[in-house]
Structure formats: structure tokens, C-alpha cells
């Protein structure tokens, strides 16, 4: 088992060397906050590699993400806060605690049952005072909407099925139409938020990740709109020189590619 940890331990040693006197001035200058952009960037690059099913790239990006983890742990160790082993020991305990069906009385649970069990364990153990408070405030709103619904569902506060959520989606859309007629922008904003939240719940009930679904749609939009832009550029004219119908024709042309 120990030889499997050698590359990881080597990475920890390399980071320590970079941060020590005589190491790298850039690495020595970094702080938890200064590294945040890189942590976020590397995380999104891992996501992109997975979505593209580019596993050679995923291998590389996981390594880059691991650098960030080891980097933060090293900074914390220098400050006397904790070290990488402390972080690993904490997650080891958490994994065992949250999987009693594996490490305790063995049970063959379905994935949804496991997720629900996690939320109940966190509340019952006092680890979390609120199920939904563990979601980062900085997470994208659509991600938070999905996770709020997932976590609340884990303790029994949830829609019965996708059809029930679909009724709610239609109800909320109807409320937007009412506020559009009333011209109340604040209420329209509230109702649009309700629709987006309901849509995230519908996606969850259909086992679809709404953030990934939206990203795929945006990629399609970008590709098709780029086609329109290339057609306009080839013409030597500008967008103002074309009618919406003409632009739509190029859009439909792009859809066929």
C-alpha cells in the first residue's frame, strides 16, 4: 500500500521545497486568497474534461487540481493551522461515518437512499445545524438551487415525482404572465426566480444536472451564433443590414450541421 502513496508524498515534498527559503519566489508569495482564482480555474477545467470525456486531459487536470489542494495545505501547515494529513484524516473519518451501510451493518442501498442517509446523518449527528447551510454562497445560483432541493429532499421535504414538479413549473410560468400584464418588475423578478428553482427541481427528479444541461445548450447556441457571425462577416456587411428572418435562416442552417 505504501508505494502507492509515494507520488503523493513526493508532491507534498516538492511543494514544501518551493515554499522554503531558496525555493520559488512566486510560490513563497502566495496566500490562500491569492490562490483562489487558480483553484476555481482548475476545478472548471476538470469539469470541462469530464464533460468532453477527454480522459487524457482529465488525468492532467486532476493533477493540476491536486497541486492547489497540496498548496493550500502547505500554507496552513506553515501557519500552524493544520497539515495535509489532518485534512486527509478528517475526510477518512467522515467517509466512514457517512457510510454505515458499508463500514457498519452492511446494507445494499440504492444511490438515492445513500444521499438521503447522508443528509440525515449530518443533521442527527449535529455536524450541520441546517441541511442547506453547507452549500457555498459563491456557488452558481443554478447549482445552489439543485443542491438545495437535493438536500431538502434528503430529509423528506420534496416533491413526490416529476409530474408534480411539472405542474408547479406551469403554475409559476402562469404567475409570470400575470405580473407581465401588471408591469411590476420586482414581482416579475420573484416569479422568474421561482420558475428557475422549479425547473432545477424538475431536472433533479428526471436525474438531469441542470447546470450541465444549460452549459450544453449554451455551447450549441455559441456554435450556431458563431455560424451567423461568420456569414455576416463573409458578406462584408453588418448585422444591421440583415432582417431577423435572414439571420434566422442561417441559424437553421447551423442547426443542420
**Average pLDDT in the chain:** 91
Residue pair 150/204 in contact by the 8 Å Cβ criterion: yes
Spatial CA neighbour of 101 closest among 91, 116, 88: 116
Distance (Å) of CA 193 to CA 144, 146, 186, 216: 12, 13, 11, 21
Tally of structural domains, the chain: 3
pLDDT at 91: 93
Which grid coordinates are listed for 81? 493551522
Residues 76 and 38 in one domain: yes
Q: Beta-carbon neighbour count of residue 228 at 10 Å? A: 19
Residues 171 and 238 in one domain: no
Distance (Å) of CA 10 to CA 14, 66, 227, 233: 6, 12, 48, 53
In a domain, 108, yes or no: no
**Separation between Cα atoms, residue 16 and residue 75, nearest integer Å:** 9
Q: Mean per-residue pLDDT for 117-134?
A: 72
In a domain, 50, yes or no: yes
In a domain, 40, yes or no: yes
Q: How many residues does the chain have?
A: 257
CATH code of the domain covering residue 65: 1.10.287.1080
In a domain, 118, yes or no: no
Choosing from 85, 119, 146, the residue where a domain stops is 85
> Is residue 183 over pLDDT 60?
yes
Q: Mean per-residue pLDDT for 160-184?
A: 95
Residues 182 and 217 in one domain: no
Q: Mean per-residue pLDDT for 18-23?
A: 96
> Which tens digits make up the pLDDT trace of 49-75?
998 899 999 999 999 999 999 999 999
Range of the domain at 192: 134-210
Choosing from 53, 85, 117, the residue where a domain stops is 85
Q: Mean per-residue pLDDT for 189-194?
A: 96
pLDDT at 127: 65
Residues 169 and 228 in one domain: no
Residues 143 and 182 in one domain: yes
> Which tens digits make up the pLDDT trace of 90-111?
999 989 988 989 998 888 888 8
In a domain, 236, yes or no: yes
> Confidence band (pLDDT; 50, 70, 90) for 1?
very low
Choosing from 85, 115, 144, the residue where a domain stops is 85
Residues 186 and 233 in one domain: no
Residues 199 and 247 in one domain: no
Amino acid at each position: 500500500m505504501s508505494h502507492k502513496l509515494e507520488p503523493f508524498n513526493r508532491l507534498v515534498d516538492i511543494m514544501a521545497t518551493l515554499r522554503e527559503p531558496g525555493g520559488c519566489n512566486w510560490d513563497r508569495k502566495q496566500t490562500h486568497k491569492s490562490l483562489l482564482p487558480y483553484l476555481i480555474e482548475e476545478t472548471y477545467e476538470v469539469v470541462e474534461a469530464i464533460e468532453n470525456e477527454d480522459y487524457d486531459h482529465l488525468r492532467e487536470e486532476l493533477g493540476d487540481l491536486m497541486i492547489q489542494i497540496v498548496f493550500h495545505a502547505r500554507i496552513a501547515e506553515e501557519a500552524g493551522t493544520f497539515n495535509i494529513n489532518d485534512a486527509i484524516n478528517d475526510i477518512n473519518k467522515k467517509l466512514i461515518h457517512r457510510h454505515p451501510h458499508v463500514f457498519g451493518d452492511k446494507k445494499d442501498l440504492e444511490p438515492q437512499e445513500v444521499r438521503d442517509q447522508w443528509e440525515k446523518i449530518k443533521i442527527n449527528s449535529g455536524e450541520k445545524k441546517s441541511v442547506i447551510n453547507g452549500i457555498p454562497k459563491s456557488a452558481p445560483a443554478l447549482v445552489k438551487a439543485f443542491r438545495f432541493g437535493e438536500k431538502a429532499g434528503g430529509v423528506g421535504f420534496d416533491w413526490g415525482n416529476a409530474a408534480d414538479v411539472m405542474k408547479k413549473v406551469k403554475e409559476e410560468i402562469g404567475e409570470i404572465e400575470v405580473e407581465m400584464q401588471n408591469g411590476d418588475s420586482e414581482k416579475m423578478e420573484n416569479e422568474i426566480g421561482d420558475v428557475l428553482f422549479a425547473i432545477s427541481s424538475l431536472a433533479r427528479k428526471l436525474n438531469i444536472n441542470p447546470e450541465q444541461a444549460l452549459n450544453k445548450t449554451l455551447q450549441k447556441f455559441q456554435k450556431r451564433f458563431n455560424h451567423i457571425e461568420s456569414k455576416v462577416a463573409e458578406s462584408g456587411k453588418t448585422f444591421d443590414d440583415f432582417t431577423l428572418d435572414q439571420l434566422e435562416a442561417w441559424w437553421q442552417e447551423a442547426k443542420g450541421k
